[in-house]
Amino acid sequence: MEIVAKKIWFDDSRIFAEFNDGRIIGMPLIWFPRLDNATDLQRVNYELWNNGAWIHWEELDEDLSAEGFLSFRKEPFCKIV
């Protein structure tokens, strides 16, 4: 079964996605600078492409794949001194 996004929504600090397999995943908006700096109206103005395989924000020039959203992990910041 191909995993696809069904719905995207936001709170003050996170982006959430619901997938066709029932999972709901949330990630910090700060990990996605274009979305983090966008207005609420710009964030909700997305399209699901290819039956939900891709999430696209035209105005923000931002694209996330459903598979990438599920596998994305932010590397911890390491300061080398």
DSSP the chain: ----EEEEEE-SSEEEEEETTS-EEEEEGGGSHHHHTS-HHHHH--EEEGGGTEEEETTTTEEEEHHHHHH--PPPP----
Model-level pTM?
0.83
Instruction: Please give the CATH topology (third level) of the domain spanning 5-71.
Output: NE0471 N-terminal domain-like (3.30.2020)
Q: What pLDDT, in 10s, does the model give residues 58-79?
A: 999 999 999 988 887 665 555 5
Measured distance CA(42)–CA(49) in Å, rounded: 17
Domain range annotation of the chain: 5-71
pLDDT tens-digit map of 28-56: 999 999 999 999 999 999 999 999 999 99
Dihedral angle sign, alpha carbons of residues 38, 33, 27, 18: positive
